[in-house]
Amino acid sequence: MIRSLYSGVSGMKNHQIRMDVTGNNIANVNTTGFKKGRANFQDTLYQTISSGGNSKNPAQVGAGMSVGSINNDFGQGATQNTGRTLDMAIQGDGFFAVSNAKSDLITAGNVTPKTDPADLKANYTREGVFFVDKDGYIVNSGGMNLIGQTAGVNTPNDKSDDAYGAIRVLLEDDTSTPAVPLSIEALTISPDGKITGTYTNGNPVKFDYGSGSYNDSTSLTEARIAIVTFANNEGLIKEGQNVYKENVDTSGAAVFGVPNGESQQINSGYLEMSNVDLTEEFTTMITTQRGYQANARVITTSDSMLEELINLKR
């Protein structure tokens, strides 16, 4: 009876954790790019009452259950049309890379491309809400820089010269003194992640790839959004604010690249919504509640049996 008490306690405790996961899923039913979680149970230790042998099976009593894992379901969420160019949804596998390590990305106000993606200190997200800030950097709602491919664009099959850094639109024409402010009229993002655009003066938008100068030969009229993939998406660590952190031991190292425009593409003007299915979550909530109630009944029933045992003395 003592074993059944503790088994019931473990059942109540871990069904509460499952309810916490379900509640978090339901709370994020309208969170852009959210991936739902799922709590998986497993049984725990067993006490052998009688060992088997001579065609006799062993007799074992379990000690309850525990949460074996809480997995994230990275299934594709539905896309919602917003009509806004810098709202982007990834179709297929992969993540946007974002970083707030401005001291590493920027030197004297200019982008410093990193040949080693690990130097970016990036986080990863499926949320595609981006803006152009006052300095021309494309940032997410948390102010983190969107990472793009800053070199190797013309040699897609040669990864040795690829470099990655923050994407920045130049907002000043420094060919004259004083510099002339520039305003963006329109930006266009293609399925393979290429960003182009025009200024209000009709000239093509220029992107900073290192010098910070509008007139420099390294300032190009095209940027390319980086897409990052992992061997095991479920091994990523949730950091909150719709971003994930790499965990090399479980997710594998981040592999930087660009979308191929076919099986993996960026849809501009759309957002990927949460992949939470309310019907499924409500069903899980009901079964979790019943499981919690059943384990509570085990405790009260075991308590009644103990009471009967104690009353034998009377």
Q: 3-state secondary structure string, 231-294?
A: CCHHHCEEEECCEEECCCCCCCCCEEECCCCCCCEEEECEEECCCCCHHHHHHHHHHHHHHHHH
Q: How many CA atoms lie within 13 Å of 159's alpha carbon, on the beta-carbon side? A: 6
Q: Is the pLDDT of residue 35 over 80?
A: yes
Residue 312: pLDDT band with limits 50, 70, 90: confident
Residue 107's pLDDT is: 45
Which neighbouring-strand residues pair with 71?
A: 38
C-alpha Rg value of the chain to the nearest Å: 27
Q: For tokens 């040795």, name the residue.
A: 160
Cα(114)–Cα(164) distance, integer angstroms? 5
pLDDT tens digits, one per residue of 4-23: 888 999 999 999 999 999 99
Nearest in space to 161 (alpha carbons), one of 94, 195, 114: 114
Amino acid at 203: N
pLDDT tens digits, one per residue of 243-275: 999 998 999 989 888 888 778 999 999 999 999
Instruction: Write the CA distances from 153 to 63, 94, 165, 199, integer angstroms.
Output: 59, 19, 13, 23
Mean pLDDT of the residues in the chain: 86
Residue 287's pLDDT is: 96
Instruction: Write the CA distances from 168 to 40, 105, 148, 163, integer angstroms.
Output: 43, 11, 9, 15
Cα(103)–Cα(183) distance, integer angstroms? 26
Which strand (E) or helix (H) includes residue 2? helix 2-27
Residue 109's pLDDT is: 42
Mean predicted confidence (pLDDT) in 25-36:
95
Angle at CA 27, nearest 5°, toward 97 and 275?
A: 55
Instruction: Write the CA distances from 98 to 56, 130, 139, 148, integer angstroms.
Output: 61, 11, 8, 9
Instruction: Write the CA distances from 117 to 22, 105, 209, 215, integer angstroms.
Output: 35, 11, 16, 28
Residue 157's pLDDT is: 56
Task: Provide the whole-model pTM.
Answer: 0.84
pLDDT tens digits, one per residue of 139-155: 998 899 999 886 655 45
Cα(62)–Cα(44) distance, integer angstroms? 7
pLDDT tens digits, one per residue of 52-109: 778 788 888 888 899 999 999 999 999 999 999 999 999 999 999 998 866 555 443 4
